[in-house]
Structure 1
Amino acid sequence: MRRQVYSLLVDNNPGVLSRIAGLFSRRGYSIDSITAGRTADSRFTRITVVTSGDELILEQIEKQLRKLVDVRSIKKLQDEDSVYRELMLVKIRANSKQRSEVVSVADIFRAKIVDVEQDSLMIELTGNQSKLEAFLNLLDGYEILELARTGITGLSRGSKDITYL
């Protein structure tokens, strides 16, 4: 099994994300993560899909995606030629004595404290998956009250292979 990241440029039409997710569901393909957001041109949305499978399955996924009317372009992002990021919000139980320790760990990872309450802190961290996992490992002794992750989003490096519509 191999992981593949696809960057899709699609028409910004109602239901496009649902149609893409539905394709995966109908065919029994796995979605590890999916993110979507409007591009600089509001007519288009960029969707990043992370999936896994053998070569035949990954080839079929790409072929099926190309058949969708709203899909304008598909790029297979490769680890060495791309930049991936993920956003994580984590709420940690921390009293006034523990707070400085948690803030120190957050500073090391260039994380932001985005909310402070009497008994908890909320931290925002952006980075690649290994950075987020390393941060969570250092918080092992603290109680994580809530955790939310966006999933991977990514772009290829450089200006070659840019799709202009």
Structure 2
Amino acid sequence: MKMTQAAGERHVLTIEVDNEAGILAKIAGLFTARGYNIDSLTVADISEDHAVSRITIVTNGPPPVIDQIRAQLERLVPVHQVTDLTEQGAHVERELALVKVAGTGDKRVEALRIAELFRAKVVDTTTSSFVFEITGTTEKIGSFLALMRELGLVEVGRSGIVGMMRGVQDA
């Protein structure tokens, strides 16, 4: 019987893994096998020798299912550490988006004004469009996109969420 995603709270998981072919597929497979969606997924090399990557996954699910996924992730040989930032407490999350907006005249001026309010940076411009770079919470980026839709939103590229605990944790 296929399980569908039950209502649950949002969780931000960070997973430190060996850079090894197929590890991302194995991790995604743990979610797929249980019928849970990955809302955001980012992967980046975090070691000087390129041996270790950090995967950040945002998902929703009831705590028992998240605990089960976490336990199974910890049993995968190339996984060094799994942290549920949501359970651990105060953490910082950010996302980056590139946002292309077309417009001339008043719409162009308004897009620049809104971008300034959101601290979005112009990274490309033509006489008829801008590409803005914006970083912040998912909610901040969502608000920015909603306003830009009214002014001529053309294209959006989003990085996915990255996160880490606040302060220094004891090892």
> Normalising to structure 1: TM-score of the pair?
0.89
Cα offset, 1:24, TM superposition = 1.7
Give the structure 2 partner of residue 72 of structure 1.
Answer: 80
Specify whether residues 52 and 161 from structure 1 end up closer, same or farther in structure 2 by C-alpha distance, changes over 3 A only. farther
* 1:27 and 2:34 are equivalent in the alignment: yes
Residue 43 of structure 2 is aligned with which of 11, 16, 36?
Answer: 36
Q: Which runs of 5+ in 2 are unaligned?
A: 1-7
Q: Which runs of 5+ in 1 are unaligned?
A: none
Partner Cα separation in structure 1 for residue 137 and residue 130 of structure 2: 22
Residue 115 of structure 1 is aligned with which of 94, 112, 124?
Answer: 124
* 1:53 and 2:81 are equivalent in the alignment: no
Mapping of residues 72-151 of structure 1, within 5 Å: 72-78=80-86, 80-151=89-160
70-79 or 124-133: bigger deviation: 70-79
3-state SS, counterpart of residue 64 of structure 1:
helix
Partner Cα separation in structure 2 for residue 78 and residue 57 of structure 1: 14
Partner Cα separation in structure 2 for residue 158 and residue 121 of structure 1: 37
Cα offset, 1:97, TM superposition = 4.1
Runs of 4+ in 1 over 3 A off after TM superposition: none
Q: Aligned residue pairs: how many?
A: 162
3-state SS, counterpart of residue 123 of structure 2:
strand
Partner Cα separation in structure 1 for residue 121 and residue 29 of structure 2: 36
Cα offset, 1:98, TM superposition = 2.5
Partner Cα separation in structure 1 for residue 57 and residue 72 of structure 2: 13
Cα offset, 1:36, TM superposition = 0.5
Cα offset, 1:96, TM superposition = 4.4
% same residue: 40
